[in-house]
Amino acid sequence: MKKQCLAEMNKLTHWMARLAAVVVFCFFVFSSAFAGDVIVGGSLTEDQTWTPDNTYIIVQDLRIGLNITLTILPGVTVKIDQGRGIHVWGGNFIVGDPLGVDQDTVHFTGNYRSSREGWKWKGILIQGVGDENTIRIFCADIQDAEIA
């Protein structure tokens, strides 16, 4: 009876080890497939800096309100869904390197599922800019926007 219990425990242990290996493998495969994509949209509630190790996908209108700063570093790619855009409503919008040291381009383009589907994203709308607000765009490639 003891030997039978030990044999069953060994089978269970091997099965659990195999299951754990499959789970770990799937985690790494799926996490690396989506690594670097950051989904954004809505009103920013705090300052943000977007870095070139990620691709930012805007899925609903992005609003930058009063006293909020969005800084997009050189080399970032921003993809925007159809009919969506970036609205600066009194906030700060800094794109690229204001010092001109890093000349790498920031790319804004439609979030196409296939090559250039023919639609446009809304664009970048700037409203309510005052003396205290900062809008700076350096080395930006803005493609397929209705307005910019």
Going by C-alpha positions, the residue among 97, 98, 88 that lies closest to residue 66 is 88
Cα–Cα distance between 80 and 56 in angstroms, integer? Answer: 8
pTM: 0.73
Q: Quote the pLDDT of residue 53.
A: 95
Give 45-55 pLDDT, tens digit per residue.
999 999 999 99
Highest mean pLDDT among 21-30, 36-45, 97-106: 36-45
Strand partners, 16: none
Judge whether 74 and 80 are in contact, CB under 8 Å: no
Structure tokens at 143: 């493609």
**β-bridge mates for residue 140, sequence order:** 106
pLDDT of 71-126, one tens digit each?
999 999 999 999 999 999 999 999 998 777 878 999 999 999 877 678 999 999 99
Contact between 41 and 61 under an 8 Å Cβ cutoff? The reply is: yes
Task: Please give the torsion angle defined by the CA atoms of residues 114, 144, 58 and 83, in that order, rounded to the nearest 10 degrees.
Answer: -90
Read off the amino acid at residue 87.
Answer: H
